[in-house]
Amino acid sequence: QVQVVESGGGSVQPGGSLRLSCDPSGDPYNRGCVAWFRQVPGKEREGVAAISAGNLAINVADSVKGRFEISQDGSKDTVYLQMYNLKPEDTGIYYCAAAPGAWARCPTTRREYKFWGQGTQVTVSS
């Protein structure tokens, strides 16, 4: 089993930045991929970025490319989502999730991810 805990959400003005943290724990095989998703009101949950635990390959959704970055602190297994130039449409609940297996490049689609955190709220508003 894997437990996933997110932190770092909050409120920020448009153009601001936030960094979210994800701390997955448990069987390393079951967290071969760690990804960030977001649930924006009125829309389906969307994958925004993913990182492979094995080769640290990253995959960032086109919708946030150039503004969001995903990284991993290898010494702590913590995965970060650094968000820049935030927009009101980025408002939503951000979830971290883990997928089992070994991946050369992790997907940002939901079905592969078996272990989910509770989510952290991000609000972008003036």
pLDDT in tens, the chain (126 residues): 899 999 999 999 999 999 999 999 999 899 999 999 999 988 999 999 999 988 889 999 999 999 999 999 877 789 999 999 999 999 999 999 999 998 999 999 999 999 999 999 999 999
Cα–Cα distance measured from residue 84 to residue 95, given in angstroms and rounded to the nearest whole number = 18
C-alpha R_g of the chain: 13
User: Encoding tokens for residue 42?
Assistant: 């009125």
Residue with tokens 């069987």: 27
pLDDT digits (tens, 9 = 90+) for 24-59: 999 989 999 999 999 998 899 999 999 998 888 999
Cα–chain-centroid distance for residue 43? 17
Cα–Cα distance measured from residue 49 to residue 97, given in angstroms and rounded to the nearest whole number = 11
The helix (H) or strand (E) run that includes residue 48 is: strand 46-52
pLDDT at residue 31 in the model: 93
Query: What is the secondary structure of 108-124 as a DSSP string?
Result: -SGGG--EE---EEEEE
Q: What are phi and psi of 123, to 5 degrees?
A: -125, 125
Q: What are phi and psi of 31, to 5 degrees?
A: -130, 45
